[in-house]
Structure 1
Amino acid sequence: MTAPLSSPVWHPYAHLKTQRAAPKVVGGEGPRFTLGSGETLLDATCSWWCMIHGYAHPRLVAAIHEQAGELCHVMLGGLTHEPADRLARELVRVTPEGLNHVFYSDSGSVGMEVAMKMAVQYHQLRGKSAKHRLLSLMKAYHGDTAGCMAVCDPEEGMHSLFAGYLPHHPFAPAPTAPFDAEPEAVASDLAALREVLERHHHKVAALLMEPLLQAAGGLNMTSPLYLRGARELCDEFDVLLVFDEVATGFGRTGRMFAADHADVTPDIMVLSKGLTGGYLGHAATLATDRVHDAFVGDTPEHAFMHGPTFMGNPLACRLALESLAVFEEEDYLGKIEELNRVLRETLLEDVELAVHPAVAEVRVLGATAVIETHETADLAGVGDWAREQGVWLRPIGRWLYTMPAYITEERDMRRITSVMKAWFLRR
């Protein structure tokens, strides 16, 4: 047995017998964070994709201080406060038209739990109690709580250990047509989705999907046409459409929301990560009038029985307001377009990388790029090696990716991609 680590912190996704002491972060600024050792690392993942403004952004830090001097927290049960009300109005403004109602929670996983419960109760209130299962896609990842684990990919996902504990839901094949696919190429994906809905729609409350970018399940990048087709199929089969935009929301795919690429409004949308610029945990589950109004009634069952303690936290709401203001005032969509240009030039158009024997595919969408390898072993040691080059990279299985902060300048973006390529081309 290895000697105990110096810290009692139990780290996520860690093998306790073999893990080493985690580097201690003591500060950060812009796209970099600093370790206690004195190292400064360029963060290629913006801390699991949420620190879209980078570290120590002065406006976000000031917002925390200002709000802390007024109100740090109060329960949202039976009460409200100005940051929660203002943020709800702003989210209704910027999200696809028709998402007019906002339910807060404290993390993306919980936001998805809210969406799933909302969908099931919606059908219950309409007298369709048999519709209590969720339809998800292979390659999906929706979070680590129990309900979310049950709708993550059951074969390649990380939750197979809990299969006996989790409820069983139907799955549709992951779409395969890429972002720029022609309609004919998307048709087979939609036919596969139709086939599953035809068999299971009588028991399915909602179709859940990460639109355009299936993130932790392998960074699968798909077509806006699939979103449009899924919208039509859900309407045909009386199934709600839920977009998990925890990772894709706030610019990651090149538009404010992935749904915007397809001009589609889901019945329910979940936001987190970039919602607060990553500075505090917070989530929002938005619903259309159609969903919300089903809960208007006289019976006890019409109340939506969910209420996280920290939902609508004033600090988080105030941060989210400031984050959105910075995003819009400083033209972050323009910044993302420039990041996309660099990612395409340095990775997607690199012929030598594309033909490397370890590389299966290179993909770019918005401010996201991934080098998919054939085997997990092809990336063994890449994190330590990148750290020696001054870059923080943390692959997911066979996928070496970057989702940088949007304030990352071109020279730093090129530094990140050069390190990613050098892992393969150095040998």
Structure 2
Amino acid sequence: MTDPRTHHLWRPYTQMQTAAPPLEAVRTHGSRIVLADGRELIDGIASWWTAAHGYNHPHIRAAVAAQLEAMPHVMFGGLTHAPAERLAARLAGLLPGDLDHVFFTDSGSVAVEVALKMAVQMWVNRGIAGRTRILAFREGYHGDTLGAMSVCDPDEGMHRRFGAYLPAQVFCDLPRTAVQVATMDARMAAERETLAAVIIEPLVQGAGGMRMHAPDVLATVARLAKRHGLPLIADEIFTGFGRTGTLFACEQAGIVPDILCLSKALTGGTMALAATIATRAVFESFLSDDPAAALMHGPTFMANPLACAAANASLDLFEREPRLEKVAAIAMALAEGLEPLRYLPGVADIRVLGAIGVVQFRQAPDLADLKRRFLALGTWVRPFGAIVYLTPALTIASEDLAQLLAAMRAVVTETTA
């Protein structure tokens, strides 16, 4: 094992003392990562779910190159520019209801931070004190910054060591049963005077374990939030842009959240960009003659023109290419390809939604060993906890997807033998 003290990079989610050295990537194309040693890996997770159109898509690359020639960046305080104006208008046109007001940031975690700040300040601006807590769901994950950590699962999530440091939020189980619905309803009533909002990952709790719930569960959450007068924040950072089979997961439940967060695939995996999008009612609660009532947030690289150009190009591709039809085909392939694993003794569950395929083990396996086995089969897959999952690019070639599924069957079978 290499001594981590001799290296300058501190890697994400990694115990630096025991981790194997990372692989060096030198090039990408389509759904493939080329390593410095010449190996070529089929990417089964689209670089943390971002590369919706695959790597190096020529349309996105050309848009970024053209913007680089004109203006790579300009501050967004007191200035504006066409790529951001166009992107905001297009997002508002794609989203349901009156989600019309777009606040750009540069990461999913910060998009969630802004959503939480919007929800809390909305009450302050209306002259209502004490509404500072967020109702969130167990097994959820919303990011790694302070506010985002506070609405992640407090007991089983990766941020549980920070419990004494984080703001105390209200946690419920997702209302899948009548008892859970009644419990959540009662909890919202009991905490009504302290709650500012409800936050949920629609249809799939991603990094908390790829746990899925039906659209009617999401609709129930929206109904209860409305009953208790609470704004609903939909964290679509993972689920947005076709991953669950519709452009946005909220569509499947027929709901319109008050605030919606986007990132990940927003730029097609090309540049860092995120957006927190609010309804008119939320936006108008910040309009005042008092300067202090404004939303006091402003990332230095907010609405970066290069990133906005990439995002506009990505939306072009969703408009003119059959992405959702491809997601449906991927979903069928995942369901068929993973089904033989369902009855292995060490497998607890197989679940598929859109371009997401998950194998849940009964016990957490040796993750380092799993990663080595996938690499040996020419695939890049990153299991975590007790699951191994596939979230490929929405443009993945059928033969590459077949190879990923063959690798999944081989590795899972060996692991459970």
Give yes or no for contact 1:60–1:323 (8 Å, CA) kept in 2. yes
Secondary structure of the residue aligned to 2:191 is helix
Which shows bigger deviation, 372-381 or 126-135?
A: 372-381
Identical-residue share of aligned pairs (%): 43
Supply the AA of the counterpart residue of 2:156. Answer: E
Give yes or no for contact 1:335–1:407 (8 Å, CA) kept in 2. yes
- How far residue 239 of structure 1 moved from its aligned partner, in angstroms, is 0.8
Q: How far does the alpha carbon of each residue in 1:119-174 deviate from its partner, in whole angstroms, 9 at most, with x for none?
A: 00001111222111111100110000011111100111001111111111110113
Q: Structure 1 residues 205 and 346 mapped into 2: Cα distance closer, same or farther (>3 Å)?
A: same
Supply the AA of the counterpart residue of 2:359. Answer: I
Matched, 1:132 2:148: no
Give yes or no for contact 1:112–1:142 (8 Å, CA) kept in 2. yes
Give yes or no for contact 1:360–1:373 (8 Å, CA) kept in 2. yes
Query: 1:201-280 to 2 correspondence within 5 Å?
Result: 201-280=192-271
Matched, 1:359 2:347: yes
Match for residue 418 of structure 1?
406
Secondary structure of the residue aligned to 2:193 is helix
Give yes or no for contact 2:41–2:379 (8 Å, CA) kept in 1. yes
Supply the AA of the counterpart residue of 1:423. Answer: V
Query: 1:376-395 to 2 correspondence within 5 Å?
Result: 376-377=364-365, 379-395=367-383
- How far residue 2 of structure 1 moved from its aligned partner, in angstroms, is 5.2
Query: 1:52-201 to 2 correspondence within 5 Å?
Result: 52-175=52-175, 177=176, 186-201=177-192
Match for residue 183 of structure 1?
none
CA distance, structure 1, for counterparts of residue 225 and residue 286 of structure 2 = 20
Supply the AA of the counterpart residue of 1:360. Answer: A
Matched, 1:306 2:294: no
CA distance, structure 1, for counterparts of residue 195 and residue 171 of structure 2 = 11
Q: How far does the alpha carbon of each residue in 1:357-383 deviate from its partner, in whole angstroms, 9 at most, with x for none?
A: 111100000000100112112655111
CA distance, structure 1, for counterparts of residue 234 and residue 54 of structure 2 = 26
Give yes or no for contact 1:378–1:398 (8 Å, CA) kept in 2. no
CA distance, structure 1, for counterparts of residue 180 and residue 50 of structure 2 = 30
CA distance, structure 2, for counterparts of residue 170 and residue 336 of structure 1 = 35
CA distance, structure 2, for counterparts of residue 354 and residue 110 of structure 1 = 38
CA distance, structure 1, for counterparts of residue 244 and residue 257 of structure 2 = 17
Which shows bigger deviation, 413-422 or 202-211?
A: 413-422
CA distance, structure 1, for counterparts of residue 311 and residue 56 of structure 2 = 15
Secondary structure of the residue aligned to 2:38 is coil
Give yes or no for contact 1:28–1:34 (8 Å, CA) kept in 2. yes
Q: How far does the alpha carbon of each residue in 1:398-422 deviate from its partner, in whole angstroms, 9 at most, with x for none?
A: 1100100011122211211121111
Secondary structure of the residue aligned to 2:134 is strand
Supply the AA of the counterpart residue of 1:274. Answer: A
- How far residue 393 of structure 1 moved from its aligned partner, in angstroms, is 0.7
Moved over 6 A (4+): none
Q: Structure 1 residues 361 and 379 mapped into 2: Cα distance closer, same or farther (>3 Å)?
A: farther
Give yes or no for contact 1:172–1:193 (8 Å, CA) kept in 2. yes
Match for residue 325 of structure 2?
334
- How far residue 14 of structure 1 moved from its aligned partner, in angstroms, is 1.0
Q: Structure 1 residues 224 and 189 mapped into 2: Cα distance closer, same or farther (>3 Å)?
A: farther
CA distance, structure 2, for counterparts of residue 198 and residue 324 of structure 1 = 41
Secondary structure of the residue aligned to 1:247 is coil
> Normalising by structure 1, what TM-score?
0.95
- How far residue 5 of structure 1 moved from its aligned partner, in angstroms, is 6.9
How many aligned residue pairs are there? 415
Give yes or no for contact 1:358–1:378 (8 Å, CA) kept in 2. no
Match for residue 180 of structure 1?
none
CA distance, structure 2, for counterparts of residue 408 and residue 97 of structure 1 = 32
Match for residue 9 of structure 1?
9
Q: Alpha carbon RMSD of aligned pairs, Å?
A: 1.4
Q: How far does the alpha carbon of each residue in 1:34-82 deviate from its partner, in whole angstroms, 9 at most, with x for none?
A: 0001000000000111011111111111111000001111111111000
Which shows bigger deviation, 25-34 or 4-13?
A: 4-13
Supply the AA of the counterpart residue of 1:413. Answer: L
Secondary structure of the residue aligned to 1:69 is helix
Q: How far does the alpha carbon of each residue in 1:182-211 deviate from its partner, in whole angstroms, 9 at most, with x for none?
A: xxxx53442232122122121111100000
Provide structure 2 residue ranges, at least 5 long, that are not aligned to the other structure.
none
Match for residue 181 of structure 1?
none
Which shows bigger deviation, 294-303 or 2-11?
A: 2-11
Give yes or no for contact 1:41–1:390 (8 Å, CA) kept in 2. yes
CA distance, structure 2, for counterparts of residue 6 and residue 336 of structure 1 = 44
Q: Structure 1 residues 2 and 335 mapped into 2: Cα distance closer, same or farther (>3 Å)?
A: closer
Matched, 1:407 2:395: yes
